[in-house]
Structure 1
Amino acid sequence: MGKVTLEAACASEVRMDAKMDGNEWKDAVVYPLELVSLRNDCWTEEKVRNVGETLHEKGNVRLLWNREALYVGVDMEDSDVFNDGTQDQTHLYNMGDTIEIFIKPENENYYWELYGTPNRLRSVFFYPSRGYLFVPSVMRCSVDISIDVWVDGTLNDWRKRDRGWNLLMKIPVSMLEQYGCPFTNEGRWTIFVARQNYSAYLPLKELSSCPALPKPDFHLYENYARLHLNGPK
């Protein structure tokens, strides 16, 4: 089975506005997030029935690009928007709602793992290869990405039911090209977008991704989507 392809529409200017209601988004393809099952052999039948095997809170991914940056926009349903993190450049996915973006040249070993949260925190991890997983030095990076966030509801108050949140991340081309691979279609870039969804109103933390993953391992870069950069219209 071949790789899934995600298309990034070309936009000469992109406003850093997480509502994503500007004209620059009209040509962006909408890709749904899909459930990443956490089910395992330790689950009882009762837990399987309670958690279910469908995505409770949906989301979508859109991509734009220009010679300055790649823009990844995610809109999400969310009954309980929160993240307890207080600092950039930490393992934010352990602290609450987080969007994770992985981007890798297909023919290189290195790749990035990028985080954004509803309380506007960011992390940039760089792996020279997957052989560097969990090594502290991967966190010693400049936080060159920018994010904007829109929350439809409250933040960090589980007693009030929320409706959702959006995240827009700007990834500079200069960051991606610093090790020699051009940010072009000839560079054969791949991308993976994942969501960690914590909620007081769900029976379990919910993972979802674009493209879909066969296992809950976000470092399965063999299953990342090919990124296609569309030209200007």
Structure 2
Amino acid sequence: MRRALFVACALAIAACSRDSVAPPEKQVGGTNTQGASTEDPRRVIKEIAVKALAPGDAITIDGKLDEPAWAKAADTGPFVDVSSGAPNPRIPVQGSARLLWDDQFLYVGFDVKDTTIRGGFPTDAPDPHLWERDTVELMIDPDGDGDNKDYYEIQINPQNLVFDSQFDDYNRPRGGNAGPFGHQEWSAGFESAVVLRGTIDDDKDKDEGYTVEAKIPWKSFAKAKASPPAPGDTWRMNLYAMQNNGGVAWSPILGMGNFHKAARFGRVKWVRE
């Protein structure tokens, strides 16, 4: 896949270089664990409990993340270096995300810090290669087993352009270095909005970043065993803030594959109050 190999560069974007066999996984305790562990980090899988929207709460998709519900949402905390699992302020893009859900939709809000916001794609481009510049990315493996079977990829860039695809297996199908990547005919059919803190594709000012807000219909995940999930179900997911084919993640890959490595995705448990 296009992100199977990454090298250290002047931008200091950390990345994963090759597949390897993971040792047995150990869950991190608690509902939202961000702290360091004395365990071998390759044995640790992040997990988070995502609460359903409270009755009467609503989310307006405008990119602002200002509804009271977002303040109560599950928060990933700052994303980390995908190679080390540690914070790395040298990486020029940073981020975090919040998650909510109800019976119809998965809601996700990204907050990205980026001093040089890049878009540059034609607004009518079908499935543009957003990872080549700036984007956020959501990987979703609904079965929760991390086996890379029947998983989904969704990207949204600062122009509010979308790349979405469905995969049968790890990076498969693949049509070569230029794609197609997965089943690009699949569409998540979601609504999204972006708010910029700066000026896209303009180096005259110093940007601060951007926020992305989206609601994704559960019915889009047709290969899931149950969609919407039932309270108590656990899916595997990862969230990234990307720049120039690298970036930071909620759950680090630790050199054990590329950004598609579902065995390294975090565990997301859907709960109600």
TM-score with structure 2 length normalisation?
0.70
The DSSP-based 3-state class of the residue aligned with 1:213 is coil
Paired letter, 1:165: Y
Of 228, 235, 242, 1:196 maps to 242
Q: Distance between the aligned counterparts of 2:188 and 2:74, measured in 1?
A: 28
Q: Distance between the aligned counterparts of 1:59 and 1:131, measured in 2?
A: 24
The DSSP-based 3-state class of the residue aligned with 2:74 is coil
CA pair 13-161 structure 1, distance change in 2 beyond 3 A: same
Give matches, 1:18-97, under 5 Å: 18-31=63-76, 32-37=78-83, 54-86=90-122, 87-94=125-132, 96-97=133-134
Q: Distance between the aligned counterparts of 1:180 and 1:62, measured in 2?
A: 22
After superposition, the C-alpha distances for 1:118-138 in whole angstroms (9 at most, x for unaligned) are 001012110022261424361
Deviation at 1:106, TM superposition (A): 2.2
CA pair 226-185 structure 1, distance change in 2 beyond 3 A: farther
Partner of 2:230: 184
Q: Distance between the aligned counterparts of 1:145 and 1:164, measured in 2?
A: 23
Of 199, 214, 230, 1:154 maps to 199
Of 103, 107, 122, 2:140 maps to 103
The DSSP-based 3-state class of the residue aligned with 2:196 is strand
Deviation at 1:143, TM superposition (A): 4.5
Partner of 2:161: 121
Runs of 5+ consecutive residues of structure 2 not aligned to the other structure: 1-25, 28-44
Paired letter, 2:140: I
- The answer to whether the 8 Å contact 1:10/1:230 transfers is yes
Partner of 1:212: 252
Paired letter, 2:243: N
Deviation at 1:24, TM superposition (A): 1.1
Paired letter, 1:85: F
Q: Distance between the aligned counterparts of 1:196 and 1:70, measured in 2?
A: 21
Deviation at 1:37, TM superposition (A): 4.2
The DSSP-based 3-state class of the residue aligned with 1:85 is coil
Q: Distance between the aligned counterparts of 2:201 and 2:97, measured in 1?
A: 24
Q: Distance between the aligned counterparts of 1:184 and 1:133, measured in 2?
A: 30
After superposition, the C-alpha distances for 1:40-94 in whole angstroms (9 at most, x for unaligned) are xxxxxxxxxxxx8744443211001111111111101110111122224222112
Partner of 1:41: none
Q: Distance between the aligned counterparts of 1:60 and 1:118, measured in 2?
A: 15
Of 13, 30, 37, 2:58 maps to 13
Q: Distance between the aligned counterparts of 1:179 and 1:68, measured in 2?
A: 16
Q: Distance between the aligned counterparts of 2:207 and 2:219, measured in 1?
A: 37
Q: Distance between the aligned counterparts of 2:73 and 2:188, measured in 1?
A: 26
The DSSP-based 3-state class of the residue aligned with 1:160 is coil
- The answer to whether the 8 Å contact 1:97/1:118 transfers is yes
TM-score with structure 1 length normalisation?
0.81
Whichever structure has more helix as a proportion of its residues is 1
Runs of 5+ consecutive residues of structure 1 not aligned to the other structure: 39-51, 199-204
The DSSP-based 3-state class of the residue aligned with 1:195 is strand
Aligned residues: 211
Paired letter, 2:151: Y
Task: Name the % identity.
Answer: 21
Deviation at 1:193, TM superposition (A): 0.5
